[in-house]
Every structure is written in C-alpha cells, then in structure tokens.
C-alpha cells in the first residue's frame, strides 16, 4: 500500500560522498541543487534552527530544525515553506556508497496530503536530485536550471511579504 504522506526519490550520482554531502549542507555559498538558496543555521546539530534564504537574503523560503546530522550519510530536518500555512514535514537525505556511485535518497515524511507543500515537494524533489547530479558530475546545473535561477534572482519582489527575513528570526 502506498503511503500518501511519504515521498521517496532516489538517484545514483557518479561522485564522492564528500562532494555530495558538501552540496547538501554547505552554508558558505548558494546550494545550486536546492534552488540556489542559502542555508542559514545556528549549527548543524540536532535541535538547531535552519532556514533556506534567497540569494539576496531578503526572503526566507523554508524554515525548520535539524533532527539528525550524521556526516556524510544522513541529514534530517523539519521543513515548512514560509509562504504557506501547511504543517511541517520532515526531509531526509540519505547517502549510500555503491559500486557504481553514490545513491542519494530524498525522503519526505508527514507530507500534508493535498497541500501546496505536497505539490511542490513532489515536483521539487526530483529537480533537486537531478540538479545535484549535474552539479556533482559536471560542476554546474543544467542550462535550463541556470536560466530558471537567473529568473528567480530577478523576481524576488513577487514573493509574499510574509516571507521577508524580518518575519523569520533565526
């Protein structure tokens, strides 16, 4: 039986555990695989708050708390889009070394069925994994993703006021 509150996406990447881990957890530059957002956090330890912000830092797209942090194999955090009133879900990244590369699983638990969050996570999780693969294997996102990110950087003014950083202290 399929659980509608759980989304599991997987991909095999020809790269090292360390390179993939860095792309998923770096906070010193935009995360190319995660919509070019910046990870802001108190610390990458269980219980610490985290945010994903736009490149200019004016808007907070996602808030959450670190649940598990086991480098370089498992990163789990709660997740809520700031622009929606949907309940939070839990996002897990799991990395497993295989002979042919690294299997990366992106798992979303407690997905609020029928919500905007569910819709965006269903399409977004595949894009994140495919972009992560491109970044690790080629050094950059695909051309289509780069164009989309360029548009995002110019259209920040259309984000709801409720996403502004001053409303989401870390």
Task: Give me the CATH number covering residue 59.
Answer: 3.30.530.20
Asked if residue 169 belongs to a domain, the reply is no
- Residue-wise pLDDT for 122-150, tens only, equals 999 999 999 999 999 999 999 998 998 88
Is residue 170 in some structural domain? no
Domain containing residue 11: 6-153
- Please, are residues 37 and 49 in contact by the beta-carbon 8 Å criterion? no
* Number of compact structural domains in the chain: 1
- Stated pTM of the model: 0.93
> Cβ(68)–Cβ(74) under 8 Å?
yes
Nearest Cα to Cα of residue 130 among 6, 1, 11, 2: 11
113 in a domain, yes or no?
A: yes
pLDDT given for residue 1 in this prediction: 67
Domain presence at residue 164: no
Residue 168 lies in a domain: no
Tens digits of per-residue pLDDT, 45-98?
A: 999 999 999 988 899 999 999 999 999 999 999 999 999 999 999 999 999 999
């Amino acid at each position: 039986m399929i659980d509608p509150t759980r989304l599991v996406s997987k991909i095999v990447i020809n790269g090292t555990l360390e390179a993939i881990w860095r792309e998923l957890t770096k906070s010193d530059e935009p995360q190319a695989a995660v919509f070019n957002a910046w990870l802001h956090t108190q610390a990458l330890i269980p219980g610490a708050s985290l945010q994903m912000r736009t490149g200019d830092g004016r808007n907070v797209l996602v808030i959450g708390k670190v649940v598990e942090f086991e480098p370089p194999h498992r990163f789990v955090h709660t997740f809520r889009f700031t622009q929606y009133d949907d309940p939070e879900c839990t996002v897990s990244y799991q990395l497993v070394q295989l002979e042919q590369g690294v299997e990366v699983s992106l798992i979303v638990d407690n997905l609020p069925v029928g919500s905007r969050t569910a819709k965006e996570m269903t399409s977004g999780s595949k894009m994140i994994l495919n972009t992560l693969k491109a970044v690790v294997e080629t050094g950059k996102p695909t051309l289509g993703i780069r164009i989309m990110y360029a548009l995002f950087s110019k259209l920040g003014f259309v984000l709801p006021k409720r996403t502004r950083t001053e409303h989401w202290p870390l």
